[in-house]
Structure 1
Amino acid sequence: MFRKKQLWIVMIGLMLFAILILVDIGTKEIIYKDPPQVIAQSPHYKAEVIWPLTMKDKEIAGEASGVAIAASGNLYYLHRGSSSYGGDKRITEPTIIEIDPQTKEVKKRWGENLFVSPHGLEIDPYGQIYVTDTILNQVFKFSPEGALLQTFGEEYPFYLEWTLRIRNLIPHFPTGINADTFARPTDLTVGKDESIIVSDGYRNHRIVKFDASGKRVWEVNQFGANAGQFHLPHSITQDKDGNLYVADRNNARIQVFTPDGSFRESWNQSELGRPFAVDVGLDEHIYVADGGDALYSEGNQEQSQIVILDRNGKFLSRFGAWGTQVGQMKIPHDIEVDHRGTIYIADLQNKRLQAFYKTEQK
C-alpha cells in the first residue's frame, strides 16, 4: 500500500512538471526558414475540387487528413468529420470517402465510429486500406470492403503522454514505453510483402518497420536535428527501389533512407519550405506538400505550396497560394500523385480534396 502511494506521488509530480514545461515543447528547436519566392499558379496544372461537391457531403466534411489511390484507380480520402486533430470522441460521420476520379462520383462512404483522430492513409497493392490514429495510437488495416483485418500497436498507457513529453526535453528520461507501442503515429508506407513502415510521429520521433504479421523488424529512433534524427516525422513514402522519403516537419526537411533504414541524405533547401507530406510519382519526381508555418507559434507566413523535386533532391518547381479559392490551399496535409501525373491534395483547413491536373505534357 505504501509503495502504491509513493508511485502515485511520483506520477503526480511528473505530470505537474510536464504541465510546467508544456508550452516550451511545441516550439523547442523547431527550424524556421525565410519564406521562398513562390508562384501562385502553375501554367502546367489546372485545379478542381473533387470532394465535397454535394450539400450532403459538405455537411459532414471535416479537416482534410489523407488521400491515397488504389490499384483500381479509385481515390480514397480521409477526413475528421465533426471532430478535429486531437479530438477525444469517436467520429460519428463516415471518415473514408471512396471516389471515382474520372466522374467524381462517390462510390462509398464508411469509417464512422472507428476513429478519434485519423491522420495517415495508405493503400497497399492488394487494395487493403491502412489508417493511423494519433489518439488511439494504432495503425488499422482494412479489407477493400472496409472490414477490420488487423491492428498494429499495443495499448497506450495514460502516463506515456507525460513521460514522452519530458523525454523530448531530457534525453534518456525513462518513459516505460516499449518499441511495439506507437506514440501519435502520423503516416505509413506499405511494401509488396505487406510490411509497413510507420512514421511515429508527434511523440516517438521515429520510423519503424513491421512485417505483415506485426513483428517489428527495425527502427530509426532518435530525437534531434542531426542526420538520421527526427523532430516530427509527419509523412513517409517509398520509391520503386524501396528507398524511403520522410517529411521531417519540425526540421523543415526531407530525409532519405535506404530500404533497411540506413540514412542516405537530407534535403533542406529553402525551396522546400516546411514539408507536411511527400509522395513519389511514376516519373520518379518527388512531390512535396509545403504547409508553411501557419500552425506554429512563431510562424507568420501563411504559405501553402506544392513543391516538385527530382529523385536526387534537385528543385524543379513550386506553386500554390494561401486561400479558399479553387487552386488555393490552407495547409496541404497530404499529397498523392497518380499515373497521369495528377496531384491530389488533402486541403486541411479548407476541408476538401483538390486535384491539380496536368495541362501539358513535358
Structure 2
Amino acid sequence: VLEDQPNFIREDPSWPNAEILRSELLGQVCGVHADSAGKVFVFHRGSNIWDEHSFDYKNIYQNQTQIVDEPTILVLDPRNGSLLEAFGRRRFVLPHGMYIDFEDNIWVTDVALHQVFKFSRGYKDHASLVLGDRFVPGSDETHFCKPTDVAVTTRGIIFVSDGYCNQRIVAFHKNGTFLKAFGQEENMLVVHSLTLLEANDTLCAADREGGRVICFDAGINDFSNMGRIKGLYSLDEGEKPYAIAAKGALLFGIRLYQPPFQLPGLNLFQPPTGFIRELGELQNNGQNRQIQQAMDAKVIAFEPISEEFKIPHDIVISPDGFAIYIADCHKNSRKRLYKFMI
C-alpha cells in the first residue's frame, strides 16, 4: 500500500466472489456502474480482445462477425460480489463504457460498432435507443468514432464522449436528436471518461492521452453556455487519467503512468493508482484559461492490497458514497474487479 495512503480508504480483497473471477465467461472488464439500489453492473468483452489488428487505418473493425457470445453485462451483489443476473449475449463486439442514469436505464458504448445503446429499466432484451451507425465510423451529427462513455442529466440531455478518433463531446436530446458537439478546440487526445456534477451544471471529461481532466458547463441552466470551460486539472507528467467519477465536491479517478522517456537500464515503471482530489470552485469563466488554480488541491492516492492494478479502466462511486468500484481491463488480469471502502 502507498506510504501516504489514508486509512479511510481500504480495499475489500474478498470482493467480488471468487467464482466470478474464476469464470471463463468474464473477459476484459471495461465498464462498471451502480444502480440506485447499489447493485454493481459490469460490462465486459467475453472472449473478444482489442489489439493492434482489430481496426484498419480508417477505424473500421476488421472482424464484423465476431459478436461476443457470452453475456456481456453482469449484475453483482454489492455486499459479497455474487452474481445476481447476466444478460447481453450476442449483441456487442468490443464493449467499452457503461453508465446507469437516474431512472436506472442502462447506457453502454461499443467501440467496434461505433454506437451507443440505451436499455430501459426492465427491458434488457431490446435497446430503446441506439445512437450511431453500426460498424460505420464518422464525425458528423449521426456518427461516432469509437465512443467511450455516456452521462445523462435528469432532464434527459445525453452526453457522449467521442472518443478515440474524434476529440469531442456530443450532446443529444433525450429522444436522440443532435444538440451540440463541443471540446474540439481543447485538442483532447482520447476523450475517455465523463462524470456529471448536475448540481453544479458541470460535465468533466478525462483527456486520457493529454493527461488532463477538463470540466465544461453542461448547459443545463443555460444551453448557450454548454461547452464553456469551467475548470482544468493537469496531472503530473506521464500520468494518464483513464476514468473519473464525481461525488459531492470530490473527484475520484484512476491514472496510469507512462514515462515520458526511457533510459537503458533504468526502470521508470510506476503501478497505476486511484486518486481523489477536491474539485474546488467551478465557476463559469467564459474564455478565461487561467483557471487551473481552481482545481489545484491536495491529491490523495490509493491502490489495492490484493493485486496491483494493470489497466484500471473505469470507476464508479456507490450511491451511498461508501464504496468505490474499479474495473481492470487488462487481458491477463486475475482480479479484474476491485471494491474499496471509504
- TM tier, smaller: 0.7 to 0.9
**What CA distance in whole angstroms lies between the structure 2 residues aligned with 1:286 and 1:315?**
11
Equivalent residue, structure 2, for 1:6: none
Q: How does 1:51-70 map to 2 (within 5 A)?
A: 51=16, 53-54=18-19, 58-70=23-35
**Matched AA of 1:213:** N
Q: 1:342, 1:107 → 2: CA distance? A: 19
Mean Cα displacement is larger for which, 268-277 or 237-246? 268-277
Instruction: Give 4+ residue runs of structure 1 displaced > 6 Å after superposition.
Output: 296-299
Partner of 1:78: 43
Q: Is the contact between residue 183 and residue 227 of structure 2 (CA under 8 Å) also seen in structure 1?
A: no
Identify if the C-alpha distance between structure 1 residues 315 and 180 changes in structure 2 by more than 3 Å, giving closer, same or farther.
Answer: farther
Q: 1:236 to 1:297 in 2, by over 3 A?
A: farther
- Cα 1:154–1:70 shift into 2, 3 Å: same
Q: Tell me whether 1:333 sits opposite 2:313 in the alignment.
A: yes
Question: What is the distance in 1 between the residues matched to 2:21 and 2:338?
Answer: 18
- Are residues 300 and 66 of structure 1, via their aligned partners in 2, closer, same or farther at CA, if it must alter by over 3 Å? farther
Does 1:219 find its partner at 2:181? yes
SS of the equivalent of 2:38 reads coil
Structure 2 residue 49 is matched with structure 1 residue 91:
no
Summarize the Cα distance change of 1:219–1:237 in structure 2 as closer, same or farther, 3 Å threshold. Answer: same
Alignment of 1:310 with 2:278, yes or no, is yes
Indicate if the aligned counterparts of 1:52 and 1:353 stay in contact, CA closer than 8 A.
no
* Cα displacement string for residues 199-243 of structure 1 (whole angstroms, at most 9, x for unaligned residues): 1011111101011111111111527xxxx3311110011113230
**Structure 1 match to 2:283:** none
Q: Does 1:346 align with 2:327?
A: yes
The aligned residue for residue 276 of structure 1 is 242
Q: Is the 8 A contact 2:30 2:95 kept in 1?
A: yes
Which of 213, 216, 230 does residue 254 from structure 1 map onto? 213
The residue number in structure 2 matching 1:187 is 149
The answer to whether the 8 A contact 1:278-1:289 is kept is yes
Asked if the contact 1:284/1:310 (under 8 Å) is kept, the reply is yes
Output the CA distance in 2 between the equivalents of 1:199 and 1:51.
Answer: 29
Residue number in structure 2 paired with 1:208: 170
Q: 2:105 matched to 1:128?
A: yes
Deviations 1:302-348 (A, max 9, x none): 42101101022223311226xxx615211210011122331110022
Distance across 1 between alignment mates of 2:4 and 2:19: 28
Choose from 255, 259, 265 the match for 1:290. 255
Give the direction of change, closer, same or farther, for the CA distance of 1:194–1:52 in structure 2 (3 Å limit): farther
Equivalent position of 1:46 in the other structure: 10
CA distance in 2 between counterparts of 1:329 and 1:43 reads 19
Shift in alpha-carbon separation, 1:297–1:52, aligned structure 2, 3 A = farther
Please, what TM-score do these two structures have when normalized by structure 1? 0.75
Q: Contact conserved, 1:290 with 1:303, CA < 8 A, in 2?
A: no
* SS of residue paired to 1:54: helix
Report how many residues are paired. Answer: 295
CA deviation string 1:8-47 (max 9, x = no partner): xxxxxxxxxxxxxxxxxxxxxxxxxxxxxx6485422221
Q: 2: CA distance between counterparts of 1:107 and 1:214? A: 31
Structure 1 unaligned blocks of 5 or more: 1-37, 161-175
Deviation per CA, 1:268-310: give whole Å up to 9, x if none: 04299310000001x420001112239x997953421011010
Distance 2:27 2:86 in 1: 14
Alignment match of 1:234 (pick from 173, 192, 210):
192
The 2-side partners of 1:55 and 1:316 are apart by 33
| CA distance 1:137–1:181, change in 2 (3 Å) | same
Partners of 1:181 and 1:56 in 2: CA distance: 35
Question: How far did 1:153 drift?
Answer: 1.3
| RMSD (CA atoms) | 2.5
What runs of 5+ residues in structure 2 fail to find an aligned partner? 55-62, 219-225, 281-294
Partners of 1:278 and 1:183 in 2: CA distance: 21
Q: Kindly tell me: are residues 273 and 109 of structure 1, through their superposed partners in 2, closer, same or farther at Cα, counting changes over 3 Å? A: same
Change (3 A) 1:153 1:42: same
TM-score w.r.t. length of structure 2:
0.79
Aligned residues with identical type, % of pairs: 29
